[in-house]
Structure formats: structure tokens, C-alpha cells
Amino acid sequence: MSSALPRRPTMRDVALAAGTSFKTVSRVVNGEPAVSGELLARIQLAIDELGYRPDDRARRLRQGGTQTGVIGFALVDVANPFFSALLRGIEEVAVKHGYLVLAGSTDANPARENQLIDAFVARRVDGFIVVSSGTENSTLRAELLRGTPVVFLDLEPELRSSDTVRSDHLGGARLATSHLISHGHRDIAFFGDDDRVFSATLRAEGYRGALRDAGVTPRPDRVVHGRHSAPEWRAIIRDHLSTGKPPTAIVTAQNFITIGAAHALRDLGVQHTVAQVGFDDIDLADVVEPGITVIAQDPPRLGRVAAERLFARIAGTAGKPRRRILTVPLIERGSGEIPPPRSRRSP
Amino acid sequence: MSSALPRRPTMRDVALAAGTSFKTVSRVVNGEPAVSGELLARIQLAIDELGYRPDDRARRLRQGGTQTGVIGFALVDVANPFFSALLRGIEEVAVKHGYLVLAGSTDANPARENQLIDAFVARRVDGFIVVSSGTENSTLRAELLRGTPVVFLDLEPELRSSDTVRSDHLGGARLATSHLISHGHRDIAFFGDDDRVFSATLRAEGYRGALRDAGVTPRPDRVVHGRHSAPEWRAIIRDHLSTGKPPTAIVTAQNFITIGAAHALRDLGVQHTVAQVGFDDIDLADVVEPGITVIAQDPPRLGRVAAERLFARIAGTAGKPRRRILTVPLIERGSGEIPPPRSRRSP
DNA sequence: CTGAAAGCGCTTACAG
DNA sequence: CTGAAAGCGCTTACAG
């Protein structure tokens, strides 16, 4: 069964077929002009007949090392549309530079992240973009110290002296919350990603800040953090909304949470009475009733900006590490403009 | 500005620091037992201090070639959740095998596809998975002839002797259409991807087959093919539904088309009167009103099956090329069960 | 215009 | 247990 793949032809094979030296073949392959017409034709023919394709790895190895024409991207979950849109943005810039991108999901698991970045380094990518808090990863830390081109995307490392591109998590959550407050709400719950994740912490901070600005004391029991699937969030939020005196509005700080909440509100039949603002835009968010008001990140743009930064770093023209924070707009669609019931309206 | 990256330490550097030969360092790096305790400790220390990381490319080059520990995946658009879910499935299997995956979007552009596969080959991936009809791509054809491990995913090449994994496009579309027929519809429109795309052709074929089975003659003016964004489809479908005597039901043969149609139906206020069945499941498809009845492919599974096939091929245990076709279930949610108006009901 | 030598970073045989 | 030689597929200097 195990039929070994025939060895790929090398320059030597081509040279043999064309009756010349492999160095001359190299000249033809690289388009160097100094080859006579007759020989050139003979070599070209041999290349075509043997199906010769130069080995990029060997070429680059000899050329002196660093450049492999590949960048890495360690993200949380490529099946999450937010991350796949980041990847698409990165890819667009990579193509322009003639680069390929290695992508891998970490599921926010530090061990898997370490392993992935190890693999990137072993394969000598020219640089990588990573969605990571960077705290627990020894390989990453070592590469940063060494000066390997690295750009942090979406999240931000504790050690600040690195290139970072992300949305204004705090400002976005503050905007979401103050939007609800401006529509009369004072009892607002917050559902966010695992609080070990930097962006989730910042978003919770923004939520609290907006409450405080409005003279409302944040209640710890109104803040729920965790890493769950949309169906899990559906159950969690349904429970929260059907226990004791429920909040009159909710902030859902991530796309899967927003989806779970959309289900939960309908499970309870309160989609027209409990207000919701979500983080991240979602397909059909403007088709459901009411439409879901969201803070809309622009993930393809985030990806492009991060990639441009990385390629500048690779080219050595990036200068000092920079932190780029993109503002996020709020899109009104209905769910965020629902007022609280009369009895619970603020003055 | 352009501060050159310090050269990575090599085995020679480590050997020099530890006062030994680089061959002995190689032994330590590869965990070969035959190194004495004292030397081993000294080398280990030097490795840590210099931050030495073996160069996988050089290692594999010397080992004899083929294996790079990387596979490629050429897909249409990673920002489309269908394809990113395929990627996630592939990735899961790749991780198990210790592989990394190079992913790239082609936008169904043959030139870009060619370029991408060229790049895969130049970097000597051990094999690749490709969403391609494979007709126009010379590099792909050459690699197939050569016996490079390749698996076709979602689409299928004209030359049949290749491994293929895809959903039952024809059966799915037939199911969608006959479902609508069983609810009384006889005038059903079909909106599908560019008809140069194999799956779109098959789905249209399934639609026609179901009509014929019911004794209905398919009308060419009820079939619209094209490669468009969701907003573009929205306009196209809105036009179709507001011209002359509109169909009483529609089949939307791809996720972006389904989203566009959901908007179009609501633009015209006919979401409760015109029936719809879509291909591909979508977030919130069960939250909109009515819920959208869909033919649900299982993209992570498609990805996993394709990847397992590829790794069997790489291992040389795959045997003859095989065509794997996964059945697709229909999920009733409301939109597909709307009856036609009395006046247009079938006997 | 063409080629023989040396070497990129590593491993595979072969000696001591 | 340790090392000197040869070579993976290619390019970079150096000769003719």
C-alpha cells in the first residue's frame, strides 16, 4: 500500500538531463542573464519535462537564514468569525508582501499557545502575530527579548514594550453601558469572557466606569465572567434573568455571549422588555426582532493594521514599539434603545 | 532605524560556549542517550543561556526531504464561516499529527489559486487540501500527476482519480426543494453561487431534479447564479421577488445568499408569506422570525475527514483514491414550512 | 558565458 | 562516550 512518493527532481537532475552543470541551472532558475540562448532553451526544456520546482527552504537557508517568507498567527479559535476575519485581514497584507501565513488556534490554552509558538520558531517564521496576554508563555517571552518581530493583536501583554493593535475595549464597553444608561437603565448586568483575558477585564472596567459616572455603584453580582460556548451562555443568562429581581438591561461583551443572550431573552419572552447591547457585530443582528444594538469592531482592519506593523518590523523600519488602539462605533438597532419598565426608570 | 536582528545561535555557537563539538550538541538536542552527565549539563546550560532553538528546516533538509511538518489549505475565503469551520476541523487533525497548517484564500480566482499552490510547493508542504475545481490550475495538475498528497474538499476536480470529501450537494438541494414542494409550492426560485463552481451546479441540478420528480418543468428564469456579497444578493433577490409574478418559495444555496435573502424578504415584508430553505446553517437562524429552515452541512466534520484522508495519504496507507460524500440533514425552523397563498396552491 | 569550490544548519553514517 | 567527514538542495563568492 505504502507507495513511496518519487523523489522530487533537484537541480542536479535537471543539469544531468540538460548536459550541463547544476550551477548553470541555478542561473536559469533565478533568471540571471548570463546564459547562452541554446543552453538556456535546453535547460528550460529539462525543467519542464522533469517538473522541476526549486526548494525554497534550501535556497533561503543558503541565503543566510532569517527570511522564510512565512509569518505565524496564533489566535484563539479560527471557527469564531471574529478571529477568522482578523486572519483574513492579515492574509491580505501578507499576500502583498509575497508571504504565506501559518494559522493556529490556541483555545486560550497557555500550553497549546506555547506549543504553537515553539512550532513557529522551529520553522523560523519571519515574525508572528499573536492573540495572547503573553504572561505565561516562556517561548514568547524569550522571542520578545531576542527581538523577533511580534505584534500583539486584540489583547496586550503585561510587558508593555511591544507592538500592539487592538480595539478600544474599555471605551467600547463604556459606550455600550452609557448608551443603556441614557435610555434610563440603572440596573445593568455584564456578561464577559474569562476575566484572565485582558480584553474581558478592560471591558468590565469600562462597564463599571460608565455606571460610576452616572452615580450608580457597580454590583459584583451583576458581573459574570467565563469561557463558554453560545449554548452555555444561553443557559447562564437565562438563569441570571429569571432569578430574584432581574436587571433591566444587559451588556454582552463578546459575539458568542451575544448569541447566547439573544436565545435566552427569547426563551423568557423578554426580548422586547430587557435591553441588550453586544460587543461584535453578527450576521442577522439586524434581521432579528428587535435588531441587536452592538459595538462593532472592525476585525479585518485590525488584522491589516497588525500585519502592516509586523512587516514594518520585519523590514526594520518600525521604530519604537507602538500601541495602536482603534475606536469602536455603536450601531443602534433597537435592542439597546428599549427603556426600562416605568417602575424602575431612573429620574 | 533598521536594526538588524541578531543572528540566531546555531549548534556551533552552543558547542563553542560549552567547549565541545557541535555533533555532541546535536546529540543532546535530539535526546540521544550517549552523552556523559557532566558534558550534558554544560551543554544544556549553554543552550538555555544562548536561547538556542534548532532549525527545523535544516534538520528536515538533511533528513532527506519530503517531510516539512506543514500542510497547506487553499480555500475560497477564510472570512466566510463555512470555510473557517473547515479550517478548524483540519487544524484539529493536524495538531494530533504535530503538523502546522498554511491557510490561504483564493476568492475562487484561478490565478490566485495557482499562485498559492505554487507557494505551497515551493515551501515543500507535505500535502495540501484544496477547495478547487482543479480544471484551470496547471501547478495543481502537475502535483496530482506527480502523486503529491492532495485532497479535494467541498468541490471536486474534473479528473476523478483524486481523494475527495464533500457534502451531498445534489441530495441536499433536492431535499430543500422537495421539502418546499411537499408544503404545496410549485413555483420555486433558486439562487446559487457562480455556475462555474461545481457545487453550485450540483445544487442547481438537485433543485431541478426535485421539480421534475414532482412533475414541474424547471424554468430557467427562476435560476440565478453568481458570485456576490450578502448585500448584493439582497438587492438581486429583492428585485427578483418584486418583478412580474414572483415565486412562492426560494432556495438559497449558500450562506451569504441566505443572509441576503433574509434581508430581501423583510425589505418587502414577505418573510411570512414567501417560503425559504437555505444551504448552510447560520448564527441566529433560529432566532429570526420565522426561523430559517436550512440544509445543515457539518463543516468541522468535513475538515476532519479531509485531513484524516490527507494524513493517510502522506503516511502512504491511503490506498486508492476515494470519494467521500457526507449526507446533509434538513432542519425545520419555520421559513421552509410556509404554505403558498391559496390561489397558487398545488393540487 | 560556464563551472568547481565552499558553506547555510543540521543529521547520517563511520571512526576512534 | 565523542568527533571528523560527507551531504541534504541550494546560492555566494572566485576562477577560468
- Nearest neighbour of A316 by CB, restricted to B1, B101, B263: B1
Angle at CA of residue A307, ends A301 and A311, nearest 5°: 145
Helix (H) / strand (E) containing B293:
strand B293-295
pLDDT-based confidence at A159, cuts 50/70/90?
low
Model pLDDT, residue B8? 82
Q: What percent of chain A has pLDDT over 70?
A: 94
Which residues, in sequence order, are bridge partners of residue B163?
A: B151
Summarize the confidence of residues A247-272 as an average pLDDT. 97
Q: Which residue in chain A has the smallest CA separation from B99?
A: A119
Model pLDDT, residue B327? 97
What's the sign of the alpha-carbon dihedral B335, A230, A82, B86? Answer: negative
pTM of the predicted protein model: 0.93
- Nearest neighbour of A284 by CB, restricted to B68, B119, B284: B284
Give chain A's mean pLDDT.
91
Cβ-contact B193, B253 below 8 angstroms: yes
What residues of chain B lie within 8 A of the CB of A85, using their CB? Answer: 79
A64 CA to D13 C1' distance (Å): 14
Q: Which residue in chain B has the smallest CA separation from A126?
A: B5
Walk along chain B (347 residues) in steps of 10 and give the mean pLDDT of each run.
64 85 82 76 84 84 78 96 98 95 93 92 92 77 87 84 93 98 97 91 97 97 96 97 95 97 97 97 95 98 98 90 96 97 73
Residues 16-45 of B with CB under 7 A from strand C: 22-23, 26, 29-30
Q: Is A34 near strand C, with its CB below 7 A from some atom of it?
A: yes
Distance from the B23 Cα atom to the nearest Cα atom in chain A, whole angstroms = 19
- Decide if B88 and A77 are in contact by the 8 Å CB cutoff: yes
Cβ-contact A346, A185 below 8 angstroms: yes
Q: Is B63 near strand C, with its CB below 7 A from some atom of it?
A: yes
Cβ-contact B128, B162 below 8 angstroms: no
Residues 78-137 of A with CB under 8 A from B: 78-79, 81, 83-85, 87-88, 91, 95, 100-105, 119-124
Model pLDDT, residue B3? 45
Q: Is A16 near strand C, with its CB below 7 A from some atom of it?
A: no
Q: Is A213 left (phi over 0), alpha (psi -120 to 50) or beta?
A: alpha
Q: Tell me if chain B has a CB within 8 Å of the CB of A55.
A: yes
B102 CA to C4 C1' distance (Å): 38
Model pLDDT, residue A3? 45
Query: Which of A137-151, A281-295, B263-277 bottoms out in mean pLDDT, i.e. has the lowest?
Result: A137-151
Nucleotides in D strand less than 7 A from protein CB: 1-5, 7-13
Distance from the A96 Cα atom to the nearest Cα atom in chain B, whole angstroms = 12
Say how many C-beta atoms besides its own lie within 10 A of residue A242's C-beta.
Answer: 12
Q: What is the 3-state secondary structure (H, E, C) of B74-86?
A: EECCCCCHHHHHH
pLDDT digit string, tens, across residues A17-62:
888 888 888 888 887 777 777 778 888 888 888 888 888 888 888 8
Model pLDDT, residue A52? 87
B97 CA to D5 C1' distance (Å): 34
What residues of chain A lie within 8 A of the CB of B68, using their CB? Answer: 57, 123
Q: What percent of chain A has pLDDT over 90?
A: 66
CA dihedral B224, B225, B226, B227 (to 10 degrees): 120
Model pLDDT, residue A1? 35
Model pLDDT, residue B40? 81
pLDDT-based confidence at A4, cuts 50/70/90?
low
Residues 154-213 of B with CB under 8 A from A: none
Summarize the confidence of residues A296-309 as an average pLDDT. 98
- Nearest neighbour of B119 by CB, restricted to A79, A100, A283: A100
pLDDT digit string, tens, across residues A55-68:
888 888 887 756 78
Q: What nine digits make up the cell of B346?
A: 398545488
Which residues, in sequence order, are bridge partners of residue B273?
A: none
Residue nearest the C1' of C6 (CA based): A62
Cβ-contact A172, A331 below 8 angstroms: no
Q: What nine digits make up the cell of A295?
A: 459595538
pLDDT digit string, tens, across residues A78-121:
999 999 999 999 999 999 999 999 999 999 888 899 999 999 99
Omega of the bond prior to A247 within 30 degrees of 0, cis?
A: no
Summarize the confidence of residues A273-277 as an average pLDDT. 98
What one-character-per-residue DSSP string does A208-226 give?
A: HHHHHHTTPPP-GGGEEE-
Give the protein-side footprint of strand D (Cβ within 7 Å). A 7-8, 10-12, 22-23, 26, 29-30, 54-55, 58-59, 61-63; B 20-21, 23-24, 27, 33-36, 39-40, 58, 61-62, 64-65
Of A129, A137, A100, A116, which is closest to residue B100 (Cα–Cα)?
A: A116
More reliable by pLDDT, B134 or A343? A343
Residues 263-292 of A with CB under 8 A from B: 263, 266, 282-289
Of B276, B218, B249, B207, which is closest to residue B340 (Cα–Cα)?
A: B249
- Decide if A53 and B122 are in contact by the 8 Å CB cutoff: yes
What residues of chain A lie within 8 A of the CB of B316, using their CB? Answer: 1-5
Residue nearest the C1' of C7 (CA based): A62
Summarize the confidence of residues A163-187 as an average pLDDT. 97
Model pLDDT, residue B266? 96
Instruction: Give the list of residues 6+ apart from residue A146 with CB closer than 8 angstroms, or none.
Output: B5, B6, B8, B51
Model pLDDT, residue B2? 38
Q: What nine digits make up the cell of A5?
A: 512518493
- Nearest neighbour of A56 by CB, restricted to B105, B122, B287: B122
